[in-house]
């Protein structure tokens, strides 16, 4: 409807996690690099957490794209609300492993043989579980046991657990002590800063075909940021409907007032907490060769190379 009016090829603010629209902020780059590092070095368990709408699924889709380019076999669990039998059946099917028996023992035997074949060919395999905060403690323990599939030197299956902050609480459950001890890397997605929100909006318009010139006034983007709190999903919602409003009014510029009207229509109050500004110490992925300590947040950690090349935790 409004695409031709603004000279766009497609909707720039579609909520679908299209990897083409991945806006590489420093935090997103670090999160993606953390996941890739964990897979390349066969770390076993990697954790990715973040608030709803901060780009976790988009990062995972970018990871899947990278995995395909690298020839890495992947199983992507996008709906973890499955029974144990359904979970294992889906995983094997996504890996392309024929499964005839519902018995877990035979399923694990078949998976182990397939992983060993992959390893002998020099290939790797990744299990990615999105919305992992919805997994039960029992299912998380079953997933942990998959890391027992290993050679004498390395893990055969790399596992990425992604979810909302509730996942952080779950892995700190005393019942999941052994799982927590196996998490060697932990990355987080974060809300955008005001500067990043400006860049995010302009970049999405560019990818959608905008040839230049201003569509959103700087004041309008500031209002978007205030109401969205730096959350990309809400930024997309506000921007798309503001574009529709501008089109209806035959205005080539989205004004501050138009964004305020959209925010009012969706009952969006100004965010109580501003998105964090970029600092020199925060936001680094956790790269550790020992368990993430309980109650220590990744934003308070960084890493450095020791003399022997091993990552050491610094606070």
Structure tokens, 176:
């999941």
Asked whether 302 and 290 are in contact (CB, 8 A), the reply is no
Q: What torsion, rounded to 10 degrees, do the Cα atoms 292, 297, 302, 308 define?
A: -10
Residue the block writes with tokens 């000279």: 7
Asked whether 160 and 34 are in contact (CB, 8 A), the reply is no
Is the pLDDT confidence value at 94 over 80?
yes
Res 108: pLDDT? 92
Residue-wise pLDDT tens digits, 5-49: 999 999 999 988 787 888 888 888 899 999 999 999 988 899 999
Structure tokens, 45:
């368990």
- CA 76 – CA 78 distance, rounded (Å): 6
Asked whether 48 and 189 are in contact (CB, 8 A), the reply is yes
- CA 275 – CA 278 distance, rounded (Å): 9
Is the pLDDT confidence value at 286 over 80?
no
Average pLDDT over residues 280-307: 36
Residue-wise pLDDT tens digits, 191-209: 999 999 999 999 999 999 9
pLDDT-based confidence at 294, cuts 50/70/90? very low
Is the pLDDT confidence value at 285 over 60?
no
**Structural domains of the chain sorted by starting position, each given as residue range(s) with its CATH number in brackets:** 3-18+192-265 (1.10.8), 26-191+279-314 (3.40.50.300)
Q: Of residues 64 and 295, which shows the higher confidence score?
A: 64
Is the pLDDT confidence value at 1 over 80?
no
Average pLDDT over residues 296-300: 36
Is the pLDDT confidence value at 309 over 80?
no
- State pTM to two decimals: 0.79
pLDDT, averaged across the chain: 85
Q: What torsion, rounded to 10 degrees, do the Cα atoms 266, 249, 233, 206 define?
A: -170
Res 88: pLDDT? 93
Residue-wise pLDDT tens digits, 225-239: 999 999 999 999 999
Is the pLDDT confidence value at 278 over 80?
no
Res 298: pLDDT? 39
Is the pLDDT confidence value at 107 over 80?
yes
Is the pLDDT confidence value at 282 over 50?
no
Angle, CA of 308, 312 and 315, to the nearest 5°: 150
């Amino acid at each position: 409807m409004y695409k031709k009016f603004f000279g766009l090829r497609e909707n720039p603010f579609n909520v679908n996690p299209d990897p083409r629209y991945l806006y590489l902020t420093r935090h997103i780059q670090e999160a993606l690099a953390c996941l890739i590092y964990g897979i390349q070095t066969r770390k076993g368990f990697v954790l990715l957490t973040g608030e709803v709408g901060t780009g976790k699924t988009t990062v995972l889709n970018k990871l899947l794209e990278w995995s395909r380019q690298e020839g890495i076999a992947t199983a992507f669990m996008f709906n973890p609300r499955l029974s144990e039998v359904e979970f294992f059946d889906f995983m094997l099917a996504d890996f392309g492993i024929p499964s005839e028996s519902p018995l877990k023992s035979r399923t694990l035997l078949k998976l182990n043989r397939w992983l060993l074949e992959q390893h002998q060919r020099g290939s790797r395999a990744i299990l990615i579980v999105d919305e992992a905060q919805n997994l039960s403690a029992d299912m998380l323990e079953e997933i942990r046991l998959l890391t027992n599939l290993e050679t004498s030197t390395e893990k055969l299956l790399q596992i990425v657990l992604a979810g909302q902050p509730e996942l952080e609480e779950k892995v700190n459950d005393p019942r999941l002590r052994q799982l927590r001890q196996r998490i060697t890397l932990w990355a987080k997605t974060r809300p955008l800063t005001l500067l990043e929100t400006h860049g995010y909006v302009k970049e999405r318009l560019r990818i959608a075909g905008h040839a230049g010139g201003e569509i959103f006034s700087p004041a309008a983007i500031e209002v978007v940021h205030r109401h969205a709190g730096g959350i990309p999903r809400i930024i997309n919602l506000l921007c798309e409907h503001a574009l529709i409003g501008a089109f209806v009014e035959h205005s080539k510029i989205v004004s501050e007032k138009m964004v305020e009207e959209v925010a009012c229509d969706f009952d969006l109050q100004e965010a109580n907490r501003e998105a964090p500004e970029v600092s020199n110490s925060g936001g680094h992925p956790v790269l550790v060769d020992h368990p993430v300590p309980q109650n220590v947040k990744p934003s308070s950690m960084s890493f450095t190379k020791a003399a022997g090349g091993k990552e050491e935790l610094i606070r």
